[in-house]
Structure 1
Amino acid sequence: MGAEFEQPTQTDLHTDRAHPARVYDYLLGGKTNFPADRAVGDRVLADWPGARAATAAARSVMHRMVHRLAATHGVRQFLDVGTGIPTAPNLHEVVQRVDPACRVVYVDNDPIVLAHSRALLSSAPEGRTAYVEGDLRDPEKFLADPAVAATLDLTRPVALTLINLVHFLSDEAAHPPVRALLDALPAGSFLALTAGTTDAAPERVRQGSRRYAEAGMEVHARPRDGVERFFAGLELDDPGVVLINQWHPELGDGPAPTEETPAYGGIGRKP
């Protein structure tokens, strides 16, 4: 399996070391990954053959969350930080099925995502999408990008989506920028977040975290109350912060998942 992408000019893609987005892509069965990424993925799979199903569940819950945000809560603007390698359907494709006028800004710090940004910019003509290079740890920088102001009206509600991201950061690194982003968004905005946990399949998660750490990638799996801290001051949407296989499974395209997945997810509204 090789990488199939168009490289941006004079950009170091750091393909000699694993990147969480590319390991995720490999576990999803994608092709935008390299030997270092596949080596980590293979070690994770050797310890936990169900890791591919868990990764697919993490992708599926994003689809369900953004569909609910658009269809039930009427959100028409989305700020997706930690976008990852484009995988159809992308976020804008899900929400623009509800309303083609939805607008999405994608943010990621992996240059390979930039190489694939055309897939993230295929908006319906009624809406708009943009891709901004940025890092969750420096929200002021990417919020100041002209593409954000050209795409999103920050006087109107925005859904901030942080999917499969914060467990790569410690509490000290993750909470301040998440709070800064929420502070920058108006009342009526939403946070949709998923994060890994050891409350389900704890030994498998510890093994997987060790494999990531061996490749230089920190993993900070949190208990439920640790994930709920990200929603402090927000009004939690039904059913609260729950394991992602329990989060509105009826909104999925296939049969409802039954196996517990080692990640929590939830949606909160800024009052």
Structure 2
Amino acid sequence: MTSTTPAASTKGTDVPTLLTNARRELDAIAFRVPNAPMAVAAALTSLGALALRLVTAAEPLAGSIGGEKQAELRALIGRVKDRASSKPRPDLAYEHLLVLLRQTQELLRRLEQAHGIEPRRIQAASASRRHAAHHAVQPVGESRIAPALQAVGPPAPLPSLGSAVTLRQLTAKPSSARVQDCLRRGKDHYPVDGEMTEQLLTVAPFLRDAVAINDTFAIQAVALLVGQLGITQFIDLGCGLPTSPTLYETAAAVLPSGSEIAVAYVDHDPIVMAHAATLLTAPRPHRTAHVHADLAQPDSILTDPDLRGALDLSRPVAVLAHAVLHEVPDHHAYPAISALTGRLAPGSALSITHPTAALHPGSMNRVGGLYTESISPIALRSPHELGRFFDGWRLLAPGLVETAHWHGVTGTAYPPGSSAAFAAIAVKP
């Protein structure tokens, strides 16, 4: 952030002193690695209180700057405030803590820059901390921030995973959700994801536009499902990191005021679900479920109590599988979609976007090779292979086509040849 005249102290608080103390407190929280649920709860209480104090200090600063920098700071303040004020689900408390820690670190960094404070002058200079900081896994743009929580001391387990998997392990290699965020120029990714994104853009420079086209289709698809088919219940498979507008915001814009929308967000990535649990919770009268599950195990999705509490499966439901099925091999993908959709009521819908090598064979096959080496093998299915997902369903016009050629997407200003996927929407008879 560009340096600016420091904002007036908040209600007599000496802001530089507040930031100095906040840096020490944040370092202390970061180095207190929780290894049990009770430790997580205690760390969340301390971090939440600190985060809200920083929000109070940051709000006057946001009013003293203008333009894009102000919008960025206000958005960050809002995210920190929402997360610090919310109570996470017990099984996502650790991930919630890690995301709040990172967001609070970013907010403190911006405040320190605006007030001319150098964080390294404040941090303890012990050799162990310097060593830990050197090896910390940190998000993009936070190289001067205290080491991330999981990077110091014994590996901290993620309780919701059901095994001793740590965030360090989860961020040791890029993830598809964070790479997508990087392609959108978001901020919820790590250096390893940025490096992967650079490699992908080297072999396929059109990928940023391809992601934007997919996002545009997703908005148009939800609007069509609500406006033309009257569907108000959704299962978003592989929901990924939050984007704007959210699914329920798109649906609500089409429906009369006061209409109810039910959305179940599904993903197997615990970091994605930590974001979803805070940022993708619809206000009343809408209903939201957050399902931490793998698409390869469809029964665990439809039997999830959170989903069953939000959705009425006796009424039509729209299943959204946007840019997710390419990560599931054939022996899981086809049975999973069949099992999910087979238990839905008539009038339900299935919306799919899927990357393919049919449009840019050379570039997309190289993309597939990079994914296989760095993340996981992917299947760049042909239009014929994609058609199998819709067996027995009625395809809506224009059928299975290049994503950029779908209704509402065609007129957008993307360069010709930017699309790298096919899309279709079908209705269950």
Same fold (TM over 0.5): yes
Q: Does 1:189 align with 2:348?
A: yes
Question: Are 1:51 and 2:139 an aligned pair?
Answer: no
Q: Does 1:265 align with 2:419?
A: no
- Structure 2 counterpart of 1:77, from 233, 237, 254: 233
Alignment partner of 1:126 is 2:285: yes
CA deviation digits over 1:71-94, x for unaligned, max 9?
111111101110000111121111
Contact 2:217-2:409 within 8 A present in 1 as well: no
The SS at the match of 1:8 is: helix
Give the letter aligned to residue 265 of structure 1: A
- 1:128 Cα deviation from its structure 2 partner: 1.4
Contact 2:213/2:409 (8 A) holds in 1: no
**Which residue of 2 is the match for residue 143 of structure 1?**
302
CA contact (8 A) 1:250 1:256 kept: no
Change (3 A) 1:138 1:250: closer
- Give me the whole-angstrom Cα distance separating, in 1, the residues matched to 2:301 and 2:210: 30
**Structure 1: tracts of 5 or more residues without a match:** none
Rg: which structure is higher? 2
- Unmatched tracts of structure 2, length 5 or more: 1-78, 84-94, 98-156, 159-165
Residues 251 and 200 from structure 1, CA distance in 2 versus in 1: closer, same or farther, beyond 3 angstroms?
closer
Residues 86 and 195 of structure 1, relative CA distance in 2, 3 Å threshold: same
What is the CA–CA distance in structure 1 between the aligned matches of 2:184 and 2:206, rounded to whole Å?
12
Checking the alignment, whether the CA contact within 8 Å between 1:187 and 1:270 is kept in structure 2 is yes
The correspondence for 2:380, drawn from 216, 221, 224, is: 221
Shift of 1:8: 3.1
Match of 1:110 in 2: 269
Report if aligned partners of 1:47, 1:208 keep a CA contact under 8 Å in 2: yes
Equivalent residue for 1:29, pick from 173, 185, 192: 185
SS in 1 for 2:326: helix
Deviation of 1:259 after TM superposition, in Å, equals: 3.0
Amino acid at match of 1:119: L
Query: Are the counterparts in 2 of residues 92 and 129 from structure 1 also a CA contact under 8 Å?
Result: no
Q: Which has the higher helix share?
A: 2
For residues 142-170 of structure 1, what are the alpha-carbon distances to aligned partners after superposition, in whole Å with 9 as ceiling and x for unaligned?
22111111110000000000000111122
- 1:8 matches 2:96: yes
Opposite residue 178 of structure 2, the aligned amino acid is: R
Q: Would you say how many aligned residue pairs link Structure 1 and Structure 2?
A: 267
Q: Deviations over 1:35-73 (max 9, x none)?
A: 221121110011122211111111111111111101111
Distance apart, 1:257 and its partner CA? 6.5
- Higher strand fraction (1 or 2): 1
Give the equivalent residue in structure 1 for 2:64: none
> How much does 1:101 deviate?
1.4
Aligned counterpart for 2:399 among listed residues 214, 223, 240: 240
Note the aligned Cα RMSD (angstroms): 2.0
Counterpart in 2 of 1:67? 223
The match for 1:231 is 390
State the one-letter code of the partner of 1:92.
Answer: Y
Out of 150-159 and 55-64, give the one that drifted further.
55-64
C-alpha distance in structure 1 between counterparts of 2:410 and 2:254, whole Å: 13
Aligned partners of 1:206, 1:256: CA distance in 2, in Å?
22
